[in-house]
Structure 1
Amino acid sequence: MSKRSLASRSSVPRKKKTKLETHQQSRLDSFFNNSRQRSSSGPSNKGEAAASSGTTAAVTDDAFPLTAIARDEAYARLLADEDGLTLDVLLRLEAEASHKSPLPTTNGKPEVIDVDMLDDDEQPVAGPSNRAIEKSIADHRIESPPASSQPYKSTKPAFSSDSPNILPTYESLCIDPTAFDPGSLDWSPNSPIPYSFLAHTLSTLSATKSRIAILNILTNCLRCISRYHPPSLLPALYLLSNSLSPPYSPLELGLGYSIILKAIQQLSGLTSAALKRLYTVTGDPGDLAYEAKSNVRTLIPHPPLLITGVYESLLKIAFSRGQGAAKQKQAVVEKLLVAARGEEIRYLVRTLAQNLRVGAVRTSMLTALARAMVLTPPSQLEVSVPTDSPFHAADLLSAVKPLPSNAKKKVSDPARDELNEKFAQAEALVKKVYVQHPNYDHLAKALLEAGLDGLTERLPLTVGIPLLPTLGSPTRSLDEIYDRLGFLPFTAEFKYDGQRAQVHAAREDGSSSQIKLFSRHLEDMTDKYPDVCTLVETIFAQSPNIQSFILDAEIVAVDPVDGSLKTFQELSNRARKDVQLDDVKVTVCVFAFDIMYLNGEILLGKPFRERRSLLRSQFPPIIPQHKSAARFDHVRSCESEDGREAVEEFWQTAVNSRSEGLMIKLLDSGEILQEPTAKKDKVRRKPLPATYEPDKRTSAWLKLKKDYVIGLGDSLDLVPIGAWHGNGRKANWWSPILLAVWDPDAGKLVAVCKCMSGFTDTFYKALKERYPPDSETCAREPRWDPECDTGGLKPEFYFKPQEVWEIRGADVTISPVSMAAYGLVSKTRGLSLRFPRFIKEREDKGLEDASTPQFLARMWESQQGQGKDLGGVDEGELVDVIGDTDIEEESSGD
């Protein structure tokens, strides 16, 4: 029996490095290896021709007398001891080690590289080996920068102060928006916004984790853009959110990492080996490009990059298809990098690598956009904002008092209070519209044309555009459900083990139909279910009065003969793209449980009882004659008015079936009495609406899963984020595995416990194949989005967060090392799960669907209320007690 203690939390701050999400690491290694072979073949014809003409097309042998091997050795020796190496220092070391002068100079300044003359075949010229670099390393050792949470940055500016490549300076965006004057910028009205301003914004965002500061920065940025050049607003929204199109659009950048590396290599003239060593120092593609270009200048200055131009270039990359697409994409990337200056380089490459990591999540973007529209309405509005509008704030700004320097000191300010009310109204409006119509293209156009007042009318719920679904709150027992809902009437429905789907359909011209199917993450999966599309055509044929609808449903695999339920694993065996009707092998049934739109009428505001009545009356069940065709049915349900015994019996039916449990839904809106949390608090009435609430985890929808129920064990949905090497017979596998909850407020994962039980030998082997050491999914340092807070739990290797596992534990306990739910139940400690056990993978869930710290805290509070003896806190000692026999027995239950 072996034990593994958790690492104690160190008081010394640990340096964090921002690293690329290396989802194509194997291609990266292949690129470097292939490039190394090419560089050893000698100088290219173009390089020789440029040298003979007297133009410095790339650094020649006189400047770089060392071979690629010698340079690799220099990098290896320097990087083994110090992280503070910058590219200019390395170049000087190489030149001095060869007993030659440093880089060629012109008028006392280093001679520049004409990157305009570089092409795909050009490589730096290699010279004879020179071992004298060792002495030079010892003579020029530099100190490492102090440990910092900021990404690696060179202490040397990219260009000299008189260089035309220096970016313009901007005012700080991190100030209170009421004190920020967007008119202070020296820009001409209706002139395109330079990309340098967006790079300044991104740089400022990356330097803070404060939510208030992030909102201020985004708000001030969007105010400036909408004031001076409204057409730049939409590209800015996409670039700040690191996306190209709406979430349901199939458009993707499709840019391989090798293309980015080739473009950087062409720009800098570095060998692939030198580029790889520099990447080891920086750990981030943006920092790599920034350092690689720090000694590169074009002979002819390029026009400044524009926000609109950068976005159009990204679209050009995304639309490149067919033969020669890779070269087309690389050409676009090279043009962008050549024209980029200073911080533009860093954030342009991070955008290309789709790894911005600046904390501008969707909620922050929408909040900032709403505030920007209140403070600085676009100048091109069709009508001016009326003074009686709830969003008119022109008269308030001059009356708002400056914020006190002491953040703890509160000053009475009626004008600021009124402005905050307008902010709240605007934020609620923008978020409400977006969750029903998640499309930045339409949102920006409507705001620029009509402002906030006309937003709802211009962007209604629309067939063909998915809305964000309502989410259920987990509960752990029927007793808890009755406690939370009181005497309000509810219905209990089967929670099927399938794939949630929104079904959008509308007749066109009385004949053809528009049909779209969307997943819970708004992905278009119409091509995946041609049999469901045929089912919709059947619904239209049988119901002439139905012209359009949006249904919320669960697509479940069923037996083609009797319609009995099958598992989600069987449903996942279906092909996912471009499925033909004749190729369908797994029969499905569409179990509809809600309707949000019918014949042009939006039903979101109606109570669930009324919506369900319309669903059942207008959409009868369909069992087609053809056995492989999709079926249509309503979910099985039981009403609370039938009595608690009936509900409990229905629950037992669900437990014995292949469903996941029950969904409890409030039938009519009402109120419940909320118990005070402190002695001085009063009993409050909490409203519970039975309306459809997009993108909300509401108490009107409660989910009761089999594994949530007391007596069956506690269950959470956790994300594997790291692991340690196993001991004994598990030495070749990962054991234990570090698991995390999802913190939606911070936008990051937080480690909660280590798990080593419930896994089969087959699962262990598959896990090692998915997460091999030092690969695209497994590294010694965290390098992926979202950020992971491991607290005192430091794994040997970090996993790329990409899976959700269902985990059951004995109980929730206070932990001195876990940061999960830190401050929610204890001011000094977090919560952990004791004796966690793996149940199954949740392929239907994304990272943001994982259990939250709030849910973990509620589980702990529920335990306390039941008087469970926790037996002391979790000190982080986990014992690997499971044997071979136990593992094989568990495989049948998975």
Structure 2
Amino acid sequence: MNLTKSLFVNRLVKISYCLLYKQITSNRTICYNNKIYQETSHNMAQRSITSFFKKTPFTPMEIKSNGGSKVSHVNGDTSPISDEKDKPSERQQSNSIDNDGDSQDSLKPKNKAKRQRVISSSSESESPVKVKKEDLSDNDDSITLNKSVNKTYDSPKNKKAKIKKEIKSPSPKKGAKSLSRDEVKENSLKLKIVGSKEKDNIVKNTEHIDNIENESEEIQKVAENAYNPSKSKYHPIKDACWSKGEPVPYLALAKTLDLIEGTSARLKIIEILSNFYRSVMVLTSEDLLPCIYLCLNQLAPAYHSLELGIAETYLMKAIGQCTGRTLAQVKSAVQKCGDMGRVAEQARAAQKTMFAAPKLQIRKVFAALKEIAHMTGQASVNKKINKIQSLYVACRDCEARFLIRSLEGKLRIGLAEQSVLHALALAVATTPPGPNLQLDAAQHMSADKFKALVEQHVAVVRRTYCECPDWAELLHELLRGGVAALASRCSMRVGVPLRPMLAHPTRAVRDVLARFENEEFTCEYKYDGERAQIHVPAAPDDKPDFANAAIFSRNQENNTAKYPDVLSRLPTLLKEGVSSCVLDCEAVAFDAANGKLLPFQVLSSRKRACASAEDVRVPVCVFVFDLLYLNGAPLVGSTLAHRRKLLREHFCTQPGTWQFATSKDCSTIEEVQLFLEEAVKESCEGLMVKMLTGDNSKYDIARRSHNWLKLKKDYLEGVGDTVDAVIIGAYRGKGKRAGVYGGFLVACYDPESEQFQSLCKLGTGFSDEDLQILSDMLKEHIIDSPRNYYNYDSSHSADVWTSAAVVVEVRCADLSLSPAHRAAIARLHPHKGVSLRFPRFVRVREDKAAEQATTAAQVAQLYLAQDQIKNQVKQPDAAHEDDFY
């Protein structure tokens, strides 16, 4: 009897299942996050059954049926329950109702989509979701849909990905009517949500629907190894290989430098670099400063004196340890290739690693290089090598080449400082910084108008950098206010050295009068010393702060420690009322006992750093000849007559210690000639002839100007000026010169191609002492093979090659075109360079770096200035133009 009753109840329950399932099989549309979802009858059935058992819970009471299966009493009724071993999975349980009632095929939707969460993503919320009665069939009561236990948790990240995927590629059913955004929002009101968390989630997702759509339309960035800033019509965002706010990858800079290295046209080089700077400014402006410094192969302004100080042997050792090669193998490869960067790149490409190192970023590489430069102490060498190895193993593609070149201090890709300034100005003109971002301003201008705008920007950026050669401040003001406000916000200040104004050489007095005809000019003694720029800042009480005074060289290097005696006597120079100043001077070795000037060779023996004035062995006299800054006001835009007047009013003199440069205002050839003879008698090199009044008498920072002419005593010997050349090779001495180098291969410097071009073989004018000194100096600069940036003829191959480090002053009879030398090649003749005839050694120029040697353009001008050439060749206009150096 009990068994019959149990079977009856079981059958009744199954019938109830089917009736309830059919009652709610009509499909419904539910709106979620402004998105329409079609709910199938299959899913509706599951929810209805779940609600049914919530209203009518089980009261389990197990009995044994005849068949041996367990039977559970539910409110007095019984239904069979399978054993635990036969229990189906959760997914199977949800589909078990398909065994009775209508057939399974009729219950399933025809196009069954992947099961998705339809109701609000509230896996943490326990509150149920109620659906209005009118949303179901007419006979339904309100049904509460609880979270099913067998649903899996979706993280917020997965939810966002699903929604984003649906927005990107919606797949409505065939024949379904597409709804507008307003209809979607209207349908969303049908879903009544109970519970604060559910409401917050829906509102939040609705607010961010536009952001998600924008992300779907986000521009795909270019692959890093495919980055190409030389592309025509370059787009700073679409063609970049990083997104906005991301650190600039080091590979992007390496690719840019690689393209520049393979480009010879200067304008194209500027365009490539400008495109890269545009992307950096738009996407990650904070990385622009390290990008500039890495392009210039610098770590800080020159007056900070921050250098890496890594010998080539240590770099080779680091490369060998990382790639499993011996030091001898790396040295041999460098000797064959001539470029350590190329060797490092090839070795890194052949190396296979199990795990890829993190990608290099420009800001991290720059910070690592600065960290290496600051490492000091006994264990600093090993620390530097370890740091180099950590960078090297992370290199990809051509990164290793430029990383090692940066560490070596020789980028050598033909990228000069003036090109960087030009590229920066072009980038700002094309993509002006500011709140109203304009990616390409050239599109809205004619070619001529845009060219004029670029030239204007270049002039402003160059002039501002000359007055304030601090890249950090210049870029900060440039990105904040643009070029228009750059000059007013970024100007000359005490403590930041300027590049001095230089003079052009002239061969005769008549050339001076031809240049300064109908103009007022003055002549000053040209002292044989070292340029010194003295900065005295102001204290808070408007008094001069002598404790923080500094002395800088013509290379902007800080020479304060070299002249403690000058600083100790500085208070005697300034008169009352002077709070701050910048003076342009010449420090000359001085024999106080005899009151005579000593040659530069004596001054060069002075120690680079003296602890105190008592330790000084070579006394100096400072000759002040110009005033650039006074009491907070720059004077570089004033005339020389005004500057000289202020100088004499506010400063004192003391014989043998502080003196004004001896000067005389001349107007005739005879006066200039007599004053030149006086200068030579006073152990000076000659005269400096300067424009005194007018617009041409301003102080042209960082220019070799025709408004200053130098008239040296050597003009009678054929050449108006000596040449500063760099030793790149040496020849072993024979006979009397055995044991030392008897001759040297010297070169001039071409900043445009960053090459050292052979000028002549130098073997005369040396004393035995000079040869011994030079041989000792060159020992630490010997290299295995000539650098790839040495331009020379194989017929002049040296016995020993040296790095470009030692600068010597050379005098000659005249200059001639030569097929065997490469100085100024292609400037005057397509296949011939300029050579010095009868060169003679004068002295070693320890005050000059290799890059400050006589340039190829200057060599070409010296050649054209010769009388025999003037009569034959028409002078190009460029020969008389002033330019930055």
Shorter-chain TM-score above 0.5: yes
1:578 deviates by: 4.2
2:688 aligns with 663
1:415-814 equivalences under 5 Å are: 415-510=446-541, 512-513=545-546, 514-540=548-574, 543-561=575-593, 563-623=595-655, 631-641=657-667, 643-669=668-694, 689-710=696-717, 715-725=722-732, 729-730=736-737, 733-771=740-778, 776-779=781-784, 781-783=785-787, 787-790=790-793, 793-814=796-817
Q: Deviations over 1:155-198 (max 9, x none)?
A: xxxxxxxxxxx98323422245x555543335321111111111
Gap runs ≥5 in structure 1 = 1-165, 386-391, 400-414, 624-629, 671-688, 871-894
Which whole-Å CA distance do the structure 2 matches of 1:599 and 1:650 have between them?
A: 34
RMSD of aligned alpha carbons? 2.9
1:359 aligns with 2:414: yes
Return the match for 1:168 from 224, 248, 251: 224
Matched to 1:697, the amino acid is R
Matches within 5 A, 1:150-229: 168-176=224-232, 178-185=233-240, 187-229=242-284
What's 1:6 paired with? Answer: none
SS of residue in 2 equivalent to 1:558: strand
Task: Confirm or deny: 8 A CA contact 1:714 1:810 kept in the other structure.
Answer: no
- Provide the rounded CA distance (Å) in 2 between the counterparts of 1:271 and 1:846: 33
For the residue of structure 2 that corresponds to 1:832, the secondary structure is strand
What do residues 629-650 of structure 1 show as CA deviations (whole Å, max 9, x unaligned)? x711101111114x44332211
Q: Give the distance between the partners of 2:429 and 2:795, measured in 1 at CA.
A: 43
Is the CA contact 1:792–1:818 (under 8 Å) kept in the aligned structure 2? no
SS at match of 1:293: helix
CA contact (8 A) 1:505 1:536 kept: no
The separation in 2 between residues aligned to 1:843 and 1:788, in whole angstroms, is: 23
Counterpart AA for 1:586: V
- Return 5+ residue gaps in structure 2 as ranges: 1-221, 874-885
Q: Which has the higher helix share?
A: 2
Distance 1:186 1:771, change over 3 A: closer
Distance 1:441 1:450 in 2: 14
Deviation at 1:607, TM superposition (A): 1.0
Q: Secondary structure at the match of 1:223?
A: helix
User: What does residue range 304-383 of structure 1 map to in structure 2 within 5 Å?
Assistant: 304-378=359-433, 381=434
C-alpha distance in structure 2 between counterparts of 1:649 and 1:592, whole Å:
23
Q: Tell me how far apart the structure 2 counterparts of residues 224 and 311 of structure 1 sit (CA, whole Å).
A: 19
Q: Which AA in structure 1 matches 2:633?
A: E
Q: Is the 8 A contact 1:717 1:806 kept in 2?
A: yes
Check conservation: 1:748, 1:789, Cα contact below 8 A.
Answer: no
Q: Which amino acid aligns with 1:761?
A: D
The normalised TM-score by structure 2 is 0.69
Letter in 2 for 1:310: V
Counterpart residue identity of residue 566, structure 2: V
Amino acid in the other structure paired with 1:485: F
Query: In 1, distance between residues paired with 2:262 and 2:708?
Result: 39
Aligned-partner SS, 1:396: helix
The residue type equivalent to 1:209 in the other structure is S
C-alpha displacement at 1:436, in angstroms? 1.3
- Report whether the alignment pairs 1:396 with 2:442: yes
Closer/same/farther in 2, CA of residues 717 and 732 from structure 1, 3 Å limit: same
Q: Could you report, residue by residue, the CA deviation over 1:558-617 in whole angstroms, capped at 9, with x for unpaired residues?
A: 122454212222222222114312212222211000111111111111111111111112
How many Å separate the matches in 2 of 1:634 and 1:826?
45
Of 354, 357, 371, 1:299 maps to: 354
Q: Is the 8 A contact 2:505 2:720 kept in 1?
A: no
Where does residue 104 of structure 1 map in the other structure?
none
Cα contact 1:714–1:811 (8 A) shared by 2: no
- TM-score, length-normalised on structure 1? 0.68
Greater RCO between the two (CA within 8 Å, min separation 6)?
1
Residue 661 of structure 2 aligns with an amino acid whose one-letter code is V
Structure 2 residue corresponding to 1:831, chosen from 830, 834, 839: 834
Q: Would the aligned equivalents of 2:813 and 2:838 in 1 still touch at CA under 8 Å?
A: yes
Secondary structure of residue in 1 paired with 2:622: strand
Q: State the alpha-carbon separation in 1 of the partners of residues 384 and 396 from structure 2.
A: 20
Greater shift in the superposed pair: 859-868 or 198-207: 859-868
SS of alignment partner, residue 854 of structure 2? coil
Structure 2 Cα separation of the partners of residues 488 and 840 of structure 1: 36
Distance in 2 (CA, whole Å) between partners of 1:306 and 1:712 is 51
Give distance in 2, aligned partners of 1:291 and 1:432.
42
Q: After superposition, what is the alpha-carbon deviation per residue over 1:230-276, rounded to whole angstroms, capped at 9, x for unaligned?
A: 11111111111111000111222233444433433332233444444
Provide the rounded CA distance (Å) in 1 between the counterparts of 2:756 and 2:326.
37
Q: Is the 8 A contact 1:706 1:712 kept in 2?
A: no
Q: 1:256 to 1:654 in 2, by over 3 A?
A: same
Offset of residue 729 of structure 1: 4.6
2-structure distance, mates of 1:573, 1:426: 44
- The verdict on how the C-alpha distance between 1:272 and 1:724 changes in structure 2, with shifts beyond 3 A counting, is closer
Q: 1:606 to 1:565 in 2, by over 3 A?
A: same
Q: 2 CA distance for matches of 1:634 and 1:262?
A: 53
Aligned in 2, Cα 1:326/1:725: closer, same or farther, shift over 3 Å?
Answer: closer
What is the 5 A alignment of 1:72-87?
A: none
Structure 2 counterpart SS, 1:335 = helix
Looking at structure 1, the residues matched to 792 and 812 of structure 2 have their Cα atoms a distance apart, in angstroms, of 21
Q: How far off is 1:706 after superposition?
A: 1.4
Tell me which structure has the larger Cα radius of gyration: 2
1:712/1:473 Cα in 2 relative to 1: closer, same or farther (>3 Å)? closer
